[in-house]
Each structure stands twice: as C-alpha cells, then as structure tokens.
Structure 1
C-alpha cells in the first residue's frame, strides 16, 4: 500500500485540526504508520512460512494456521489505519464544499463580498462534521481493538498452539515463529491505538466545552446589548 499517498491526503487535514488533532496525526504517522511500514510488516512477513507443526500430514499445517490466524495482525492493522484515517477526509471535503460555495458567491455578487468569514473555521455545519469524524474514528479504534482481542483471545501470542482440525490425524503441536517479538509489536500497536482513542476523547470534550463557552459569551454579549438599548430608550 502507498502510505505516502495517504500521508499527503491527511496533511491537508492538519491545518483544520485543533492541537489535539495535530498530536493525533503525529502519533498515527510516527508511532503507527512508520512502525507498521518499517518494522511490523517485516516481522510478520514469514508468519505462515515458519508456522511449524509436528506432523507431515498434507494440508494439516495450512489448516491449523488458518484456524489460529483467520486474519493476519498486519492486515488487520492495515485495515484499522485506513478506517480510522478516512473520517478525517469528511472535514476536508466539507471545507472544499464551502470554498466552492464561496467562489460561486463571489462570482455572483463581486469579489468584495464574502459568504464565510473563514471557510475552514469550525462553525455551524463544519463543527458538526468535525465532531462526527471524531466519534467515527473513536468507534473504529475501539472496534478493531475488540476484534483483535476477540479473534486471538489475547494480545499476547503463545509460543505453542494445539490443533486437531481435519485433515490433521490427531492433536498436533504447532509453533509460531518469533512469538516474543510479535507480542512486543502487538502491545506497542495496541498502546498507540489506545493513545489515539484518548486524544480523540480529549478533542471531543475540548470542542464541546469551547462551543458551550462561546455560546455563553455570545448570549452574555447579546443580553448586555439589549440592556444598553433599553436604558437608552
């Protein structure tokens, strides 16, 4: 997969993000995408070839591998990275929609007119779009963490597994290659994912709190303005 292409797309999201969003983007690329591309893919590149079972029964090793690894960690993480980064494009598309409306408005009413004070400012519909993208990203993160734990029953890879699935003649022992190294990478990726969830939750609270404070200040300003007008009259 061309991760540089994904990085180029997400770089446009950075300028519309809050401080928490910029930290989230840094964590995704430095501690997840970079680790995934540079190290994790190589660690799991020989997982099926070095999955050994103490039997020579044709097909037994392949069936046991498929039974214990219905989907590889590396492919599950690739899907996770794609799913958790795609909601950010909702913000970019919404800003592009605003900019297009701004362009048409200026063509119709003149260059000195403005439809939006700042198309990238998180007000109105864009605020809801940004908030929705955070909820979707958080949901995907939690869902993939649950799937990883559910499929493998743990984040720790065992050194030995036992398999009696047909066509294996009996209960056979199978050995996973480099289980300690893979366990370390699994915990690292899970920790990075949890950090991203925490950052998303912090950003949600920040956006809501900032919006509440802004509405209160706006209400106070309107009340003061009404009082001034009433006293003048």
Structure 2
C-alpha cells in the first residue's frame, strides 16, 4: 500500500494548523504512520499462515482464525489512519475555496486565506470533532472485536467443523501486544491533543469576541457622552446671562 497521498495530506494540513495541531500531525506521521509502515505491517503480514491449531480437521483452522480475528488488526489500523486523517481535507478544501474566490473576484478578500477565522474556524472545529470521534469509535471497536487490548498465547476453539475443543496458537503474541499497546497509547494521545486544540480555539475566539464587543460598547458609550456634552455646551451658549434663552430681540442683527 502506498501512503504518499496521506503523507502529502498531512504536510498540507500542517501549514494551516495551530501549534497543537502541528504536534498532532507529528505524532500521526512519526509515531503512527511510520511505525505502521516500518514495523507493524510486517509483524501481522503472515498472521493467518502462522496461526496453528493442534488438529488437522479441514476447515477448522480457518474457522477458528476467523472467529478470533474477524478483522485483521493491521487492516483496521490502516482504515483508522485513513479516516482520522480525512477530516483534515475539509480545512484544505476550504482554504482552496478562499484562494479561488480571491482569484475569481481579482481582489484581496481575506487577510490570509489560511488564517483560522470566520467560516474556516467552523470548518477547523468540525474537523477536530470528527477526528476525535473516529479515534474513540475505533478504540471501542478494537476493544469489542478482540475482547480487550490483549493478545493471548493460546486460544481454545470449539466452533464447527472442529470436532471438539481445540487449542490454537498465535504467532509472536508478545511482540504483537507491545505494538498494540503502543498504537493504542498514541491513539489516546491524539485524542488528548484534539480535545486540547478544540478547547484552546473555543476559548481563544470566545475571549476575542468578548473583547471586541466590550471595546465596541465602550466606544459607543464614550461617543454618546461626547455628543451629550456638545449639546449641553451649545444650549449654554445659546442661553442669556440670566440663564434664559436669548430672544430674537436680544440677538445681534446685521444692522447692529
């Protein structure tokens, strides 16, 4: 399997991410993608051929393997990596839309097409929610499919067409379990990073909006005070020495 597309996608997303988002990209690329390609894929490469049962009943070994491993770990991890990285395309597409819109109108419509604000902020938050959701769903799926995050040395199978309960042995269970714990830990780390970035962006832009409204309100009240002071000054100037408004007879005319 070629992972060039996923690598290019993560590199493109890195340009529009926050500091926490760049850490997430580094964790996915180094501790998940490279570990998957360099080591994990080879460990599970011949898992079916190396699964052995102490009986030669035709079909028994295949049925037992399918019973204990309904979906291959390695294929499920590949699907997880793809789905977790895909929501980042929303951000890339939104930035591309902004750039095309500027070209179409032939004018500068944004301070920077990649700046996280306005509609792009909503898209970015949606992508974070989707990535976190996919991570949690796959962790639950792993736990349910394999009855926990453990790989036993020996499993007992009594599924037909096996004539009785047979013992089946899994190859390299300790090595597989180490990589399983490592990938689960990196998945949990990615969830923490996504939630941290989500909280950071929400707090940052909530404070920004509050300060913007407060400044606008303060400027509005200052402007009202200035206007009322100007009106009072004009009224005082229009009044006579005794405090009463000047009549037309009191006011100087052109003949005076």
The answer to whether the superposition gives a TM-score over 0.5 is yes
* Structure 1 gap ranges (5+): 107-112
| C-alpha deviation, 1:73, in angstroms | 0.6
Specify the SS of the correspondent of 2:168: strand
In structure 1, the residue matched to 2:164 is: 170
CA distance in structure 2 between the partners assigned to 1:37 and 1:57 by the alignment? 35
Specify the SS of the correspondent of 1:177: coil
2:117 aligned with 1:120, yes or no?
no
Equivalence map 1:152-167=2 (5 Å): 152-167=146-161
1:105-162, Cα deviation, whole Å (9 max, x unpaired): 11xxxxxx42222211111111110000000000000000000010000111000001
In structure 1, the residue matched to 2:237 is: none
2:188 aligned with 1:191, yes or no?
no
Equivalence map 1:8-27=2 (5 Å): 8-27=8-27
In structure 1, the residue matched to 2:243 is: none
Specify the SS of the correspondent of 2:132: helix
CA distance in structure 2 between the partners assigned to 1:119 and 1:232 by the alignment? 39
| C-alpha deviation, 1:228, in angstroms | 2.9
User: Contact 1:10–1:89 (CA<8 Å) still a contact in 2?
Assistant: no
Specify the SS of the correspondent of 1:118: coil
In structure 2, the residue matched to 1:109 is: none
| C-alpha deviation, 1:185, in angstroms | 0.4
What is the RMSD of the two structures over their aligned residues, measured on CA atoms? Answer: 0.9
CA distance in structure 1 between the partners assigned to 2:212 and 2:7 by the alignment? 38
Equivalence map 1:1-233=2 (5 Å): 1-106=1-106, 113-233=107-227
Divergent runs of 4+, >2 A: none
In structure 1, the residue matched to 2:234 is: none
User: Contact 2:13–2:88 (CA<8 Å) still a contact in 1?
Assistant: yes
Specify the SS of the correspondent of 1:31: helix
In structure 2, the residue matched to 1:110 is: none
CA distance in structure 2 between the partners assigned to 1:9 and 1:149 by the alignment? 29
Q: Could you tell me the TM-score, scaled by structure 2's length?
A: 0.87
| C-alpha deviation, 1:227, in angstroms | 2.5
| C-alpha deviation, 1:224, in angstroms | 2.4
| C-alpha deviation, 1:87, in angstroms | 0.1
| C-alpha deviation, 1:178, in angstroms | 0.6
Q: Whose radius of gyration is greater, 1 or 2? A: 2
User: Contact 2:10–2:29 (CA<8 Å) still a contact in 1?
Assistant: no
How many residue pairs are counted as aligned between the two chains? 227
Q: Could you tell me the TM-score, scaled by structure 1's length?
A: 0.95
* Structure 2 gap ranges (5+): 228-256
Specify the SS of the correspondent of 2:156: strand
User: Contact 1:85–1:137 (CA<8 Å) still a contact in 2?
Assistant: yes
| Structure having greater relative contact order (Cα 8 Å, sep ≥ 6) | 1
| C-alpha deviation, 1:229, in angstroms | 1.7
| C-alpha deviation, 1:56, in angstroms | 0.8
User: Contact 2:154–2:167 (CA<8 Å) still a contact in 1?
Assistant: yes
CA distance in structure 1 between the partners assigned to 2:5 and 2:22 by the alignment? 18
